[in-house]
Amino acid sequence: MRRFFVKVLKKPFSGVLIALIIGFIVGAITLAVGGFNPATSYGLMFTGIFLNTRRVMQVLINAVPIIMTGLAVAFAGKTGLFNIGADGQFIIGQVAGAILGYYVPMPGILHPIFIMLCAFAIGGLYASFAAFLKTKFGIHEVISTIMLNWIAYYFMNFIINMKSVKVPGSQHSPEIRDTAKITFFSREFRTSEAGEALIAKHPWLDSIVRTDAGFAILIMIVVAILLWLILKYTRIGFELRAVGYNYYAAEFSAMPVKRNALLSMFVSGGVAALGGAMFVMTTPYYISMLGSTEGYGWDGIAVALIAGNNPIGCIFAGLLFSGLKFGGSEIQSRLGAPTEIINIMIGVLVLCIALVPALPRLAERLEGKE
Partner 1 sequence: MQLLNTLLLTLSITLMYSSPLIFTALGGVITQRSGVDNIGLEGMMAFGACGGSIICYFTGSPWIGLLAGATFGAILALLHAFVAITAKGNQIISGIAINFIGAGVATFLTRFLFSGAAQSNSTINLGIPKLFELLGIDKSKSQLLQSAEIDITVIIAFMFAILIWFVLYKTKTGLRVRACGEHPGAADTLGINVSRIRYICTILSGVMAGLGGAVTSLAISYRYTPTVITGQGFIALAAVIFGNWKPIGATMACLLFGFAQALTVVLAGTSWLPSQILAMLPYALTLFMLVIFVSRSRPPKALGQPYFKGQA
Work out whether 139 is an interface residue with partner 1 (CB under 8 A): yes
Nearest to partner 1 of 53, 332 (CB atom)? 332
Work out whether 22 is an interface residue with partner 1 (CB under 8 A): no
Instruction: Pick out residues in 258-317 that bind partner 1 (CB under 8 A).
Output: 291-293, 298, 301-302, 305
# binding residues, partner 1 (CB under 8 A): 50
Work out whether 151 is an interface residue with partner 1 (CB under 8 A): yes
Work out whether 363 is an interface residue with partner 1 (CB under 8 A): no
Nearest to partner 1 of 223, 301 (CB atom)? 301
Work out whether 155 is an interface residue with partner 1 (CB under 8 A): yes
Nearest to partner 1 of 115, 342 (CB atom)? 342
Stretch in the footprint of partner 1 (CB under 8 A) among 29-37, 113-121, 200-208, 246-254:
29-37
The residue from 40, 177, 205, 338 that contacts partner 1 (CB under 8 A) is 338
CA–CA gap between residue 317 and residue 242 (Å, rounded): 25
Instruction: Pick out residues in 53-82 that bind partner 1 (CB under 8 A).
Output: 82
The residue from 347, 360, 366, 367 that contacts partner 1 (CB under 8 A) is 347
Work out whether 157 is an interface residue with partner 1 (CB under 8 A): yes
Work out whether 344 is an interface residue with partner 1 (CB under 8 A): yes
Work out whether 137 is an interface residue with partner 1 (CB under 8 A): yes
Work out whether 342 is an interface residue with partner 1 (CB under 8 A): yes
What residue ranges bind partner 1 (CB under 8 A)? Answer: 30, 34-35, 82, 133, 137-140, 142-144, 146-151, 154-155, 157-158, 161, 291-293, 298, 301-302, 305, 336, 338, 340-344, 346-351, 353-358, 361
